[in-house]
Structure 1
Amino acid sequence: MQTVKFIEVGPRDGFQNVKKYIPTEVKLKVIDLLIDAGVKSMEIGSFVHPKAIPQMKDAKEVVTKTLETHQDKGIEFFALVPNLFGAKAAAECGLKKIDTVISVSESHNKANINRTVEESLQGLERIRETLPDMEIILSMATTFTCPFEGITPIENVLNIIRQGVKIGIHQFCLADTIGQADPAMVRKTVQAVKEDFPDEYFELHIHDTRGMGIASTLAGIEAGIANVQAAVGGLGGCPFAPGASGNVASEDLIYMLDAMEIKTGVDFNKILAAAKYERQVIEGNYSGHQVLIGEHCNT
């Protein structure tokens, strides 16, 4: 039986797109439910300025309380940081792993964080030098397509990874930021990346804006990436596709992998329950399908 590492990103990438503030206790309840479902790797917040993302103003409290409750359960917790200040804040809360984002596309990087790609790489290098013991994963936005530049050349993707490795980064996430990737595109990019960097660690983060998220994620798995991200409920959005759903729904992905006898260690019925609870207490843009159907018995 094939095994896939499942990474839950709903408490960050899903929650940050919700306009109405989610009470801290609700965020913690969702995290508890996901852990009870068997999730072993989870992004639980973002250390950004509250003016930029008000939803993340309680990130320190969420991270601290989560670690206090679950730190002895062998779960990999991490948070997104935009810069060295955020990285230091994450470290002070006790996190051993952080995630930072650089767009492969110059235009998107400039629009997203008002920096050139080179400036972002320099900032990443400062984080690496300042926090030598911190585990860092570089999420590469617009790996497949860009809202300003169209299809992203694979060589541009390889170049970012190449520069990241020189800095001392050995974990990367290939991100389909606006949900335009198709299975063939994902397969081709993953194959190229794995061929040039066989010893580096890669994750895959696909959006479901156009309904191709599950298929594209499976294409990435079949092409050689066995570490995939999703968000419970499919909660999320895309700033460059107003009204569109964002993330692949965790429960949909787990259902498919179960059906294909691909092991994740996550209990479908329990993660479905987490998605149902989330829908009851959080007003958001959901894309999950399984919550509308019901439970099933794993075989």
Structure 2
Amino acid sequence: MVNSFIAWYLFLAGMGAGAFFISAVVDLALRRASPPWLEAAATVTDGGMYLGPATVVLGLVFLLADLGYPERSFQVFFTASTSLLTLGSWAIVVFLGCSVSALLVGGLLETPVVRRLETMLQVLAAVFAAAVILYSGVYLSAFPSVPFLNNPLVPVTFVLSALSTGMGMLLLFGFVTRDGEDTAAGIPLCLRADGMVIAAKAVALATLLAWAHFGYPEALSVDALVIGQWAGLFWLGVVGAGVAVPAAAELWCAWHPRSLAYVAGAAASIGGGLCLRYAFLLAAMRFSAVTGGAVTFWG
């Protein structure tokens, strides 16, 4: 059974890891070559180096709140197991350790050895950030008793959402903390990349719903999202805020490069990402061994 703490944990961990992954990829690419367009993108994305780990830590606070007894979380690390919970927990710990270490090493005296060490730590952090992004969707899709979530398109949708919300957070962070002239050259590139992710997310989401509509109790979850109890959350939050508003804002900015409409789109994208987690968890149904029927997964 899941609750609000789990929804917030999945949202914050995915968004934070997504922001860091984007930032790390841009930074690592710049270490090999420095084309002007990539340097421009870095003015928007480089905040993810520290914003990403901080957001993942905030997500862990919600995970600990869900456990009720924080000391229980340590059992995961000292139990010989290859479960998704254990692997995911270690992925988060290694990601935080490598990302923070890379920041600390980067502040040392610039030498070839230090530079190589920082690069190695950043590569490891990026790899484990990708694992954290993937973990939340894979974990939810690993329950055969919850057919709506037991679908390979759930991890795909969650990965795309993590990248989109991560980019949204980077755009907002750049807008708030930097002069617009500093980031102006990098914003169009970031918006184009985010637009492709949003389009892919829309396709994955539509395909997932169409696929699930032909099963039981998956069809109950689809009906609850599209026309039922959670239709408002789905259409206004997941589709409206998570897809339509950022897509419209990015198209507007393509025609009006100096527009600040991307700020509203980024904020909507983040809100839509949270709505996506809530909507999926609220609508998911599981088989009950007691009644033989379907009951809600939320509780």
Q: Provide the TM-score with structure 1 as the length reference.
A: 0.27
Compare CA radii of gyration and give the structure with the larger one: 2
* Structure that is richer in helix per residue: 2
Point out which structure has higher relative CO (alpha carbons under 8 A, 6+ apart): 2
